[in-house]
Structure 1
Amino acid sequence: MHPLYRPVLDLMQIVARDIMMPRYRKLATHEFAEKTPGDFVTIVDQESEALLSAELAKLLPGARIIGEEAAAADPSIVDRVGEGPAWIIDPLDGTNNFTEGKSPFCIMIGLSLDGEREAGWILDPVTGRVFHAMRDGGCFADGEKLCVRRPSGGLPKAAIATYFMSEERQADVRRRAAGKIEIVDIPRCAGEQYPRLILGQNDIALFERTQVWDHAPGALMLEEAGGKIARHDGAPYRLAVPGIGAIAANSPEMWDLAKAVLFD
């Protein structure tokens, strides 16, 4: 595990205990609002990011801080993710679920160096489950090293975020998948999508948006566990290289199948 595994996790657990869970199912109407249509921000996002940013800066002085809410205010901070060390923070992934009083939702933190993913943490505040990965060091769930578990039998299961697609694209995806891939519900939480791939609940995830805070931790975990993520055209997923969309799968072979069915 990464040398900073424990202090980062301790910080995440403090945020979950002191900021997040006390407001779970207790948000007042004035404590959340829409940033853009259908995309909410809450007081929990804001307070969590403020504490995480301040404390992570102490753990690694000089590192950039790239938080989802900070980037909403100043998108240019993401442009420098390829420069030096950076903490990448999603203070409340699955915000819409949280505002509706249901799980999953999580806290996600990534650590990068010159745009390369170095480590990642995902904490589920409801269950306490912790996923962690370190580049060339493996993927762990609650301290146990994992390799992807591949389901046997039946059609491959694909969690596809169709609500970011045009109606025409949605229809095309469903037509292509018919009889070849079973489309399953998405959890509306990237921090749950990746564990489902690793644990064998799903085989494929198709993403239309790839904000760094949504994917830096989970993509590293998937790769360290033996899966694959790449852009729709097959280009590697890189934090500092702009691109649209990604396919994630529990093996390179499953990735190839998803690409052939959904895009070729």
Structure 2
Amino acid sequence: MRSSPPTACTSRSPRTATSGRSRTSRQPRVPSNYAAELEFAVETAWIAGQLTLEFFRLGVDPELKSDMTPVTEADRGAEELIRSRIAEVFPGDLVVGEEFGAGGGESASEAASKRHWYVDPIDGTRSFVRGVPLYGILIGLEVDGRVEVGVAHFPGIGETVAAASGHGCTLNGEPAQVCSTNNLSEGYVSFGDPGLFVDPRHRTAWQRMMEGAAYRVGWSDAYGHALVATGRLELMVDPKMSAWDCGPFPVILREAGGYFGDWDGNETIHGDRAFSTTRRLLPEALKLLAD
């Protein structure tokens, strides 16, 4: 396990093997905008991850929120930490988090024109409280409706996927990209909670997806999308998402040579359902998921 945050390497090169092994961090080369935000997000996600690991190792009892989803002291503590760091370094930015909503001191109309940080302090709280190490810390920066910086950190397995517009996508500081599979019939497909495919149209789309893939497995929550970005999965489908559940993924997939967005082909974190795949497989995936 790392004792310091991974470097947000920004060079692009063919993908190396993407196992969970430690990588040698590189000094970043950052020729364009958002270098500071990228480094900040990587460091912040790592620090928040260290906080969550303390609870993860000892075990923690969840509470139920009004929507009947679990929350823990670790969720709240990690979000408070992330919010405080954003307020200190980027005091004019708005923060939208799963546990504490939107905040930044502006009125709604003023906030609409600001930069928005979307934060999920523990994506996969159910996994977290069960001792499953695939939970993630998600941080995404949206500017004028486009996600420009994204970090998905998985402290339980020591993986960090990071990207910023024009900087490429990295896994633990090494360049990462989507796979080159030509057809979904040759690919691995994953999905969120099957119980959320309750709409008959969604259920039909899910069945088509299951029938069309070579292998189907439930690497759910944020980790499935990270697997697509790093070439270990061809398609990840979620029938229900909030903006903080997917804040970093549009830029992560874009910079890795893939797509993240709604089921209609729009790159966004504001749809109620989403998927990630490669650019090569996008037309086939859209056809499978069509209503």
TM range (shorter): 0.7 to 0.9
CA distance in 2, matches of 1:149, 1:84: 35
Q: What is the 5 A alignment of 1:107-126?
A: 107-126=137-156
Contact persistence 1:204–1:248 (CA under 8 A): yes
Say whether residues 1:163 and 2:195 are aligned partners.
Answer: yes
2:169 counterpart residue number: 139
- 1:34 maps to a residue whose letter is L
Say whether residues 1:220 and 2:212 are aligned partners.
Answer: no
Contact persistence 2:93–2:117 (CA under 8 A): yes
Q: What is the 5 A alignment of 1:1-264?
A: 1=10, 2-17=35-50, 19-29=51-61, 32-35=62-65, 39-71=69-101, 82-151=112-181, 155-161=186-192, 162-166=194-198, 168-169=200-201, 171-177=203-209, 179-182=211-214, 184-190=216-222, 192-234=223-265, 236-239=266-269, 242-251=270-279, 253-263=280-290
Contact persistence 1:232–1:247 (CA under 8 A): yes
Write 1 or 2 for the structure with the bigger share of helix.
1
- 1:51 maps to a residue whose letter is L
Q: Secondary structure at the match of 1:3?
A: helix
Contact persistence 1:109–1:217 (CA under 8 A): yes
Deviation sequence 1:185-228 (CA, Å, 0-9, x none): 333321x1222112222111222223111112122101111111
Report how far residue 95 of structure 1 moved: 0.8
Contact persistence 1:157–1:202 (CA under 8 A): yes
Q: Secondary structure at the match of 1:258?
A: helix
Contact persistence 2:189–2:236 (CA under 8 A): yes
TM-score (norm 1): 0.84
CA distance in 1, matches of 2:168, 2:178: 11
Report how far residue 245 of structure 1 moved: 1.5
Relative to structure 1, the CA distance from residue 217 to residue 167 in structure 2 (aligned partners, 3 Å threshold; closer, same or farther) is closer
Relative to structure 1, the CA distance from residue 81 to residue 213 in structure 2 (aligned partners, 3 Å threshold; closer, same or farther) is farther
Contact persistence 2:242–2:271 (CA under 8 A): no
CA distance in 1, matches of 2:209, 2:277: 15
Q: Secondary structure at the match of 1:216?
A: coil
Contact persistence 2:249–2:260 (CA under 8 A): no
Deviation sequence 1:114-159 (CA, Å, 0-9, x none): 2221101111112322211111221111222222123478533221
- 2:216 maps to a residue whose letter is V
CA distance in 2, matches of 1:39, 1:10: 28
In structure 2, stretches of 5+ residues that fail to align are 1-9, 11-34
Deviation sequence 1:23-53 (CA, Å, 0-9, x none): 1143343xx1122566211110001101110
Report how far residue 103 of structure 1 moved: 1.7
Contact persistence 2:261–2:271 (CA under 8 A): no
Relative to structure 1, the CA distance from residue 214 to residue 25 in structure 2 (aligned partners, 3 Å threshold; closer, same or farther) is same
- 2:127 maps to a residue whose letter is N
2:3 counterpart residue number: none
Relative to structure 1, the CA distance from residue 238 to residue 151 in structure 2 (aligned partners, 3 Å threshold; closer, same or farther) is closer
Q: Aligned Cα RMSD in Å?
A: 2.7
- 1:138 maps to a residue whose letter is G
Contact persistence 1:247–1:259 (CA under 8 A): no
Contact persistence 1:247–1:255 (CA under 8 A): no
Deviation sequence 1:43-78 (CA, Å, 0-9, x none): 1000110111011111112101111111299xxx99
Report how far residue 12 of structure 1 moved: 2.5
In structure 1, stretches of 5+ residues that fail to align are none
Q: Secondary structure at the match of 2:248?
A: helix
2:32 counterpart residue number: none
